[in-house]
Structures are given as structure tokens and as C-alpha cells.
Structure 1
Amino acid sequence: MMALLSVVLRLKLPSRQPAGLFHTCTRLLAADKELLVKLRKKTGYSFINCKKALEKFSNDVKQAETWLNEQAQKEGWSKASKLQGRKTAEGLIGLLHEGNTAVLVEVNCETDFVARNVKFQQLVQQVAVSTLKHSQSIEKSQSPYMKGFLAGAEFLHMKTEDSLLKDLLAVTIAKLGENMTMKRAAWVTVPSNMFIGSYVHGSLPAELPSLANMAFGKYGAVVICEPDVNCNSNLSELGRRLGQHVVGMSPSALGSLEDENTGETETRMLAQSFLLEPSLTVGQYLLPHQVQVLDFVRFACGEETQSTESNNS
């Protein structure tokens, strides 16, 4: 009887927990959640994948992030091969203008919805930054200014701060799930006695903390100009207006001041009616400003391109 009573008493008595164990577990769970939110915000990957990574590396955020990026690259290349045949007619033109160098890039995706995504804009920005660094590595020539083009596979082994562009492309494909292509880039560099006009049309409000001199849109242009020593025009505004003309009128050649306007089908820039003052040709508009236009580059997102643009000049 006494043995039975002893068993009953033991069953009724509450089991003791070490003091503070419940609160310790609560704090650990909160810390895990905080790490999860932090990793999710930094990488953009799903909560499930971030949780898996933290569990795999015992809440070591740095190792978890590295592993996530490696997995994303593998998945990205797998997705890229599966999506390779899908058309990439949308995307963005990126314009990066820094000092005496300006860069235009085109990166394509499948839908305008993805083109407006911050992750896609980050890819475009990084392509522009890598192209800028590439232009700075080119040996200076005897030409009065320098201009170069890149296309397709030439981007794949270019470096970002942390990896290669091809790896960043893979990560972005993995995150957004669309086919993407780094289509082309152009860069121009001028000496101190010249300036570069630039303009982007159809620009998007960039949601990412981007470079102050980076712009995104559907059309972009850079114009190489040389002012006369007596020029007192607002060169920044003049350059913007000339870039706007190139975007709007789509000239195919520069021409000369002696060229006469042949009408609406005129494709030589200096002979075209100036977009903002149609009563004047571009050449006539430039004369009182004491500025010469030496060259220009125009990009339109999704347009057909010539193979010659893949070579540096």
C-alpha cells in the first residue's frame, strides 16, 4: 500500500525545471529569429533557405550567406540553361557618368515587371561599374578621345568587388526566375578640354541606394563635345539637350556643318532639325554656343545591334 501511495505522489508532483531555463530558451529563439530576418534582408533569399543555411552552420551568418550564394549560383546556371531560349526583349539601359568617362549598358530580361525590381537594377548597376573599371584599365591612345564597346561573353569574366559578373548574373536569375542577358556596353573617355553630354529617357525611380551619377531608363545617349576656349555656355545643360536630341531623333551618323537638311528622313546628326528648336539644324544651334560635337553613342533597349559594336575602338 505504501509503495502504491509513493508512486501516486510522484505522478502528481510537478517536475522541476532548472531556474531560468524557459527564459533562456525564449531568448535563444528570439536571437535565431533576429539572425533569420537579418540574413533574409541582406541576401533576398527565402525564409526557408535562410533558415536551412543557419541551421546548417549553427547560426554562423557569414558561412550561411556564403553557402546561400553558392547554392544560388548553381541553381541560377541551371535555370539559365533551361530558360536560355526564352526571349529577353525587356530590360534597362544604365548610364553611369563619372568625371571624364561615361558608360552605357544594356541588360535584358523577359518582363518589364522584373526590370523594375531592385535586384535587377543592382545587376545593371554592377555591369556599369565593371565596364567603367574595364575602361580605366585600357591603355591610353593618341586619339583625342577614347570609345569602346563590349558585348555578350566579354562580360562573363569581368570582376565585381566580390565575384565575377557571371556569378552575379546566376544569383539574380536564381532570385528572380527569368532569363537574363548582359547584352552590351559602351564607354567613352575624354581629356580635360572636352566634355560628355548624357541623357536617359523613360527613366525609372531607382529604389536601391545607387550611385549618385547612375540612371536607368529605356533609352540612353552620350555625346562627346569640344567647347571653344571662349565658350561660356552651360555645358551640363547643353550636353543634356544634345543627348536628348540623339535619343529622340536617332541619328545614324555625325555628318558635318556643311550638310544640308534633307527633310524628315535626315539621319546625319548635325544636319537634322534640332529636337528642341526645329527651326534650326543641330549644327546651326551649336554655332553661337561655340561647341563642336565629335561623336555620340545611342542605346535603345531591345533594339537590334550590329556585330561591330562588340569590338573596342
Structure 2
Amino acid sequence: MAKYTAADVKALRERTGSGMMDCKKALDEAEGDVDKAIELLRVKGLKGVAKRSGRTTTNGLVAAKVDGRHAYLIELDCETDFVAKNERFIELAEQILTAVAEVGASDEQAALGAPVEGKNVEDLITDVSSIIGEKIVLRRVANLEGERFAVYLHRTNPDLPPQVGVVVAYTGDDSETAHSIAQHIAFADPKYLTREEVPADQVENERRIAEETSRNEGKPEKAIPRIVEGRVNGFFKTIVLPDQEYARDHKLSIAQVLKDAGLTVSAFVRYRVGN
């Protein structure tokens, strides 16, 4: 006869994120002892970690934290959207984010080695993965240093945690405009802060394509240099933040918006889950 109730199964599911049948079987084997059932789920799950190593993780969440003169952004991935919205998975992201901030980690390797609850982040991820039954990957970690920060986390689906995260380091007093710039970055996905950061070979390739295209279109030879420069400038507008048209007003460039607001962006980072 079962030594547990439906409420016990529900509680175990909420604590571990495991499936209902797995929770019932664990409680059966543990004779209703919840703590023992959790351990059984973990041991059973660990056996499947290696099998899950080749699976793809295209779901998950982004999370951010500002800590003094540093701001952190992480992307934690899983296999399904069901797990992405699981309370234990969301809690795991917060635990990782706190550990990352405490050690000032700037990359995934440093983050995985950060201590948390008597172990490190890598071991914690393995434990949670074994209980939930999905592959979990700390895909990216960013650490920005600055005077002030604007953070924007966007939900692409209202039923899921944030899937797009942006952190902007800036100087200036207009926090509202800084936040709107973070929203713009989430939408427009710029890759660079300045034109100088764009790899030279990438610019030259765009210039070559623009020149060949202009000649194939039969443009006058004298006009080609001007046309090429215009098209290269158009290329910069797609990937360089200050060159982009402001998402809220296409008549303004981001450079003009920043100038009018008295803001200077020193760095930014944008993550989109699985992208």
C-alpha cells in the first residue's frame, strides 16, 4: 500500500522537476520517504547523463545581475521548453548567476568552477540535469565593467522565461533612454560598438561585392566609388550600434539619440537562447 499521497507526488515534482511517473516510482521504492526519493531520482538520472551528452539544447533562458561596477549575463540551455519554464531550472539559473557574480567570472570555464552549495557550478548542473532528465548547458557568460548599466530581458513567449538578454554599460544620467537603447539592441541585434571593431576582411568583402554589383548593374564608372561607399555605409548600419536607425524613430540614428541624451555606451552584450 502506498505510503504517500498525491500531494507528496506533486511536491516531489515541484522540488525536482522530474516527471510524474518517475516521482511515483521513486516514492514507491523509497516507501514514501521524500528525501530518499530525491536521492533515487538523482542516482537514476546520473546514469543517463552520458547518454544525453550528444543531445541538442535549443531552449533555455537568459538571466542578468548588476553587482556594483560589474554586470553579468548568462545563457543556460536545455532541451525542451517544458524544462525551460520549470521552477528548478529557473532556480538553477539564479544559483549560477549568484555564483558567477561572487567570483567575478568572465567566461564559462571560470563560471563552471565557481563554488556553490559545497560543490561547484559544473557539479550542480550535473545534479540538476540528472534529476530533471535533460541535458543542461551553461552556454555563455558575460562580465561587463562600467559606471552604469541598463538591463533588458525579453520574453519571446509569455509562457517562458526571458529568451533575449541585453546588458549595456554606459555613462550619463538618462537611465530611461539607456533602457530604450538596450531594448533597441534586443530588437536590432548589432554586432559591434564602433566601425573600427568590424574585421577588415569583412569590410573589404562587402566593398568588393558592392563594386561587382554596381558594375553588373551597369552603373557609370565615375559613379561607382560613391555608390560603393553608400552600400558599405548601409552595411555598417546593419551591424554597428551607433550607425543603426533607432527602433523607436527611424529618422534618428542611435548615435544621435545617445548624443541628445548625453550618454556614452562603453560596451554591450546581447544573448538570444539557441542563437
1:72-221 pair list within 5 angstroms: 72-135=41-104, 149-151=106-108, 153-190=109-146, 194-202=147-155, 216-221=161-166
Count of aligned positions:
233
Residue 68 to residue 97, structure 1, CA distance change in 2 (3 Å): farther
Residue 193 of structure 2: aligned partner = 254
Superposed CA RMSD: 3.2
What is the alpha-carbon distance in structure 2 between the residues aligned to residue 167 and residue 155 of structure 1?
A: 12
| Pair 39,298 (structure 1): closer, same or farther in 2 beyond 3 Å | closer
Q: Which residue of structure 2 lines up, in the alignment, with residue 19 of structure 1? A: none
Match of 1:296?
268
User: Alpha-carbon deviation of 1:69?
Assistant: 5.1
Which residue pairs with 1:10 in the alignment? none
1:111, distance to aligned residue in structure 2 (A):
1.6
Q: Rg bigger for which structure?
A: 1
Q: Which residue of 2 aligns with 1:239?
A: 178
Which structure's residues are more often helix, by fraction?
2
Aligned twin of 1:276:
248
Question: In 2, are the aligned partners of 1:69 and 1:171 still within 8 Å (CA)?
Answer: no
Q: Alpha-carbon deviations, 1:131-173, whole Å to 9, x = none?
A: 11121xxxxxxxxxxxx6312x544332223543233323322
Counterpart amino acid of residue 150 in structure 2: G
Query: Structure 2 length normalisation: TM-score?
Result: 0.71
Q: Which runs of 5+ in 2 are unaligned?
A: 196-229
In structure 2, the partner of 1:287 is 259
TM-score by length of 1: 0.64
Q: Structure 2 vs 1, CA of residues 33 and 189 (structure 1 numbering), >3 Å: closer, same or farther?
A: same
Distance 1:290 1:183, change over 3 A: same
Same amino acid, percent of matched pairs: 24
Q: Is the 8 A contact 2:26 2:41 kept in 1?
A: no
Q: CA deviation at 1:34?
A: 11
Contact 1:199 1:220 in 2 (8 A): yes
Structure 1 residue runs without a partner (length 5+): 1-28, 136-147, 208-215, 304-313
Deviation at 1:33, TM superposition (A): 6.0
Aligned residue for 1:283, secondary structure, equals: helix
